[in-house]
């Protein structure tokens, strides 16, 4: 059983690594950011509430996020294991997660992986990040560009930039990330669950290191 928490700043490569883990271990990835963006797109009550926090690069309140995750983790596809991407982001969320796993699902976290990349590199990666609104394929204009400018290789849809992937919002997101994650790292290190991985290496090399932890 692999119940993984993935820590890492926006643009640290969590999405790429999660894709490889899903492929090899047959577990699901749950991204609170994706769930919230879906709600914003739908224009649901949750989306309307979340949007203003997201556009400022601030955290959505714990009670809202914990409620979303309680529902999501109760879905049957989580039984085989999961990767949590973007959750927990605060100590209160981490504690609620522990409690949910223990009392509602009879399980616990098995691995916490922190993928670390210096902020200067993150700025380059994120401001050049584009994604396909149709299939979710993520590109980087400099490091991993689409074959034809601004168009998805897989389905030809026009690529978009996430509205919070701008320099201004990113500064806030990174500040918030470092403040909250520092506390989470202490918490998980105390429990002997934390593994720190150098996220500046090539994706395949990083994945070898991660697989070493998971085996």
Active site residues: 14, 89, 129, 162, 173
Compute the least distance from the CB of residue 179 to ligand AMP, in Å. Answer: 12
Compute the least distance from the CB of residue 40 to ligand AMP, in Å. Answer: 9
Q: Which residues bind ligand AMP (CB under 6 A)?
A: 10, 32-33, 36, 53-54, 57-60, 65, 86-87, 89, 93, 173
Running DSSP on this structure, what letter comes out for residue 101?
A: I
Residue number, 86 or 146, with CB nearest to ligand AMP: 86
In 3-state terms, what secondary structure has residue 81? strand
User: Of the candidates 166, 27, 37, which has an alpha carbon nearest to the alpha carbon of residue 109?
Assistant: 27
Residue number, 107 or 172, with CB nearest to ligand AMP: 172
Compute the least distance from the CB of residue 176 to ligand AMP, in Å. Answer: 7
Residue number, 10 or 13, with CB nearest to ligand AMP: 10
In 3-state terms, what secondary structure has residue 207? helix
Do the Cβ atoms of 107 and 3 come closer than 8 Å?
Answer: yes
CA–CA distance, 129 with 151 (Å, rounded to integer): 13
Residue number, 59 or 194, with CB nearest to ligand AMP: 59
Give, in degrees to the nearest 5, the angle at Cα 123 between 121 and 124.
70
User: Of the candidates 94, 46, 104, 38, which has an alpha carbon nearest to the alpha carbon of residue 73?
Assistant: 104
Phi, psi (deg, nearest 5) at residue 117: -140, 130
Compute the least distance from the CB of residue 36 to ligand AMP, in Å. Answer: 5
């Amino acid at each position: 059983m692999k119940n993984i928490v993935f820590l890492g700043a926006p643009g640290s490569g969590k999405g790429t690594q999660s894709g490889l883990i899903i492929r090899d271990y047959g577990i699901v990835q749950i991204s609170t950011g994706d769930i919230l963006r879906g709600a914003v797109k739908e224009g649901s009550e949750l989306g309307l509430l979340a949007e203003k926090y997201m556009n400022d690069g601030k955290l959505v309140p714990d009670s809202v996020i914990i409620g979303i995750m309680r529902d999501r983790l109760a879905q049957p596809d989580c039984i085989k294991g999961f990767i949590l991407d973007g959750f927990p982001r605060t100590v209160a969320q981490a504690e609620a997660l522990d409690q949910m796993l223990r009392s509602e699902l009879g399980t616990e976290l098995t691995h916490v992986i922190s993928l670390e990349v210096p902020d200067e590199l993150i700025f380059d990666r994120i401001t050049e990040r584009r994604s396909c609104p149709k299939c979710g394929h993520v590109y980087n204009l400099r490091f991993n560009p689409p074959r034809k400018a601004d168009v998805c290789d897989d389905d030809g849809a026009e690529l978009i930039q996430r509205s919070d992937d701008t320099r201004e919002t990113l500064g806030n997101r990174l500040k918030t990330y470092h403040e909250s994650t520092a506390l989470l790292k202490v918490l998980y290190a105390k429990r002997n669950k934390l593994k720190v991985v150098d996220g500046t290496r090539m994706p395949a090399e990083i994945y070898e290191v991660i697989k070493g932890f998971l085996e």
